[in-house]
Amino acid sequence: MRFATAKHMTKIDENQTQSASPWIAFRHKAFTVVWIATVVANVGTWMYNAASGWLMTSLNPDPLTVSLVQVASSLPMFLFALPAGALADTVDRRRFLIGSEILLTVVATVSAVLVWLDLINPSILLLFTFLLGAGSAFTAPAWQSIVPQLVPKQDLAAAVATNGVGVNISRAIGPALGGIVIGVLGIAAPFWINALSNFAVIGALLWWRPPTSQGSSLPPERLTGALVIGFRHARYNLDLRATLIRAVAFFFFASAYWALLPLVARNQIAGGPELYGILLGAIGIGAVGGAFALPWLKAVLGPDRLVSAGTLGTAACLVLLGVARYSAIGFAACLLAGMSWIAVLASLNVSVQMSLPDWVRGRGLAMFVTVFFGAMTAGSALWGQLASAFGLPAAHFIAAAGAVAGIALTWRWKLQGGQGVDLAPSMHWPAPVLAVDADADRGPVLITVEYQINPEKRDGFLAAIRDLGQQRQRDGAYSWDVFEDAAASGRFLETFMVASWLEHLRQHQRVTNADKVVQDAIREFGAAGEPKVTHFIAARLASD
């Protein structure tokens, strides 16, 4: 879904986001054209999602099979988001998006033809849902990454807010419109509309000409190396890890109402496709309404309490859906679900945003998307199985209890919600002096930093340098350690390795202003002089 997580991908000061009017971004023609096109396309996507879920209840009403529609939609994001995030940093995004959208249009058209000719069965429906989900997974990071190219930096927060409004507008309109279209024109109509809606974004991308960017003077990272560095960064970025843990605790249990809602509409409330579309639309309406209350709620509760409140709201929604026998109860539950969803998702988005420097933003946010959809996929499969075994109400009640328990179990992992630390590149590392030939791919490289500190400050120095070690490893280093000279009090040697000389040069560009503060603090422990930095490159014979 285009721009579905666009606000994940741009660096935002939360206070700026809260005060910026989302309508400011419409001053820029490129943003306006692309925004309108993506809203149109997302309406088609939501119509497809509603129609495919409803069609499966006709093809095979088994709860597990119906829940597999959500699995097929979510699983590609789990499988492909990480390589897609690395790919988005190494290709021409506009050309990549144009080609991908054309391919998605072909796939969507074929699925519409099969439904129209009544050649569809559960397996084929799940296959095409998976293929369309895979296309969205590969294009999501690129879509998210073009937002800063559509508006100037000072209007970036407004553009992100406007994208969020657009996503929820399409979520509110698409499912309800899909239900109406099914009732009037038949089940194949939403599939055709989804295929045709893709032409809107193809046309917008063909019209748009992005500004030229100078970028880094270094060559782009290779895909496999970029993935390894991305995983290493996620491992040592404690703030990102905390956000991912909180995300799993929410999305795993919230997936229950997304997966089982077609059955609630059809079996519990005994409604038709129109009701199912209205219930999905209610989630979108609740999200739009909740978006307007978010600035006040964030100021009052803060990110951790806001996520807890949204999780409690989701648990209440699950209980209501478990007992719903009337459409009014289902509608109220879905409104509450939408408000709770946007409260949690927005808070997690901001926390991810505040945790990532620009150089690894695509991969870090792809990690978040992977966790997001991985939890949704695993949860959807589980709740479908539980509904088959114990019934729809029991599955909803178990999910509600798990969501509440998740609040307590993950409370110690705190989210980033304020302005955060300054992760802009500091560029304060001096260029290394070389006396040997250092080809870009030559490596590995061993870097040593020798410190002479006041022995009385030993414990404080070790605590500070271990924080620095986390930063080194977040930027691509491995085998980090610090050693103490057994014969000279106060003499310490920090060591770490990187894969190649080129990767070390990239480290120079990745060091942030926050890293510089830590490094400056470590210098305060020094007894004499600056730390001595030495570079060692793996030695090879000329014949090797």
Of 58, 4, 43, whose CA–CA distance to 193 is shortest?
43
First-to-last C-alpha distance (Å) of the chain: 49
pLDDT digits (tens, 9 = 90+) for 72-97: 887 888 788 888 877 776 777 788 89
Sheet with 491-498, edge to edge strand ranges: 478-484, 491-498, 445-452, 532-537
| Mean pLDDT over each residue of the chain, to the nearest integer | 83
The residue with tokens 């969205």 is 136
- CATH fold label, 445-537: Alpha-Beta Plaits (3.30.70)
More confident residue, 103 or 298: 103
Lowest mean pLDDT among 149-158, 327-336, 406-415, 468-477: 149-158
Token pair, residue 479, equals 């085998």
pLDDT for the residue numbered 19 = 43
pLDDT for res 1: 58
Which residues 6+ apart lie within 8 Å of 67 measured at CB? 259, 260, 380, 381, 383, 384, 385, 387
> How far, in Å, CA of 411 to CA of 252, rounded?
16
Paired with 492 in beta bridges are 451, 484
Residue with tokens 């249009």: 105
* pLDDT beyond 60 at 213: no
Identify residue 241 by its one-letter amino acid code.
R
Main-chain dihedrals φ then ψ at residue 542, nearest 5 degrees: -60, -30
Q: pLDDT value at position 153?
A: 64
The mean pLDDT value for 308-319 works out to 96
Distance CA 157, CA 121 (A): 44
pLDDT of 362 reads: 75
For residue 506, CA distances in Å to 218, 328, 430, 431, 499 come to 8, 57, 13, 11, 11
**Burial class of 154 by CB neighbour count within 10 A (0 to 12, 13 to 18, 19+):** exposed
Alpha carbon distances (Å) from 234 to 83, 239, 509, 511: 14, 9, 18, 16
DSSP-assigned letters across all residues of 459-496: HHHHHHHHHHHHHHHHTT-EEEEEEE-SSSTTEEEEEE
Please give the DSSP secondary-structure letter assigned to residue 535: E
* Percent of the residues in the chain that have a pLDDT greater than 90, as a whole number: 33
How distant, in Å, are the alpha carbons of 238, 468, 487, 525 from that of 461? 21, 10, 18, 6
For residue 112, give the nearest of 191, 178, 179 by alpha carbon.
191
Flag whether the pTM goes above 0.85. no
Model confidence at 156, pLDDT cuts 50, 70, 90, reads low
Residue 474 predicted with pLDDT over 70: yes
Enter the tokens of residue 13: 């000061």
CB-CB contact of 144 with 5 (8 Å): yes
Question: How would you class 58 by CB atoms within 10 Å of its CB: exposed for 0-12, middle for 13-18, buried for 19 or more?
Answer: exposed
6-209+223-409 is classed in which CATH architecture? Up-down Bundle (1.20)
pLDDT digits over 339-357, tens only?
998 889 878 877 887 788 8
DSSP state of 422: -
Selection from 298, 305, 310, 374 nearest residue 338 by Cα: 310
Q: What are phi and psi of 151, to 5 degrees?
A: -140, 155
- Mean pLDDT confidence for 227-251: 90
Q: What is the pLDDT of residue 13?
A: 38
At a CB cut-off of 8 Å and minimum separation 6, what does 276 contact?
Answer: 50, 53, 54, 175, 179, 261, 262, 265, 266
Q: Which pLDDT score, from 0 to 100, does residue 411 have?
A: 93
- Residue 248: what pLDDT? 94
What's the one-letter identity of residue 541? L
Residue with the bigger pLDDT between 355 and 419: it is 355
Q: Which residues of 375-408 are buried (b: 16+ CB within 10 A; e: fewer)?
A: bbbbbbbbbbebbbeeebbebbbbbbebbbebbe
Between residues 462 and 289, the one the model is more confident about? 462
Helices marked H in 186-272: 189-207, 223-236, 238-263
Which is nearest to 68 in space by CA: 375, 341, 385, 330? 385
pLDDT at 438 over 70: no
Say what the pLDDT of residue 293 is. Answer: 81
**257 burial level (CB within 10 Å; 0-12, 13-18, 19+):** buried
Query: Dihedrals φ, ψ of 435, to 5°?
Result: -115, 0
Cα angle, residue 293 at apex, residues 292 and 298 outer, rounded to 5°:
125
527 pLDDT tier (thresholds 50, 70, 90): low
Q: 219 phi and psi, to 5 degrees?
A: -65, 155
pLDDT at 401: 96
The mean pLDDT of 413-429, rounded to a whole number, is: 74
Evaluate if residue 14 carries a pLDDT over 60: no
* Residue 9, pLDDT score: 34
Q: Report pLDDT for 160.
A: 65
The full set of domain ranges for the chain reads 6-209+223-409, 445-537
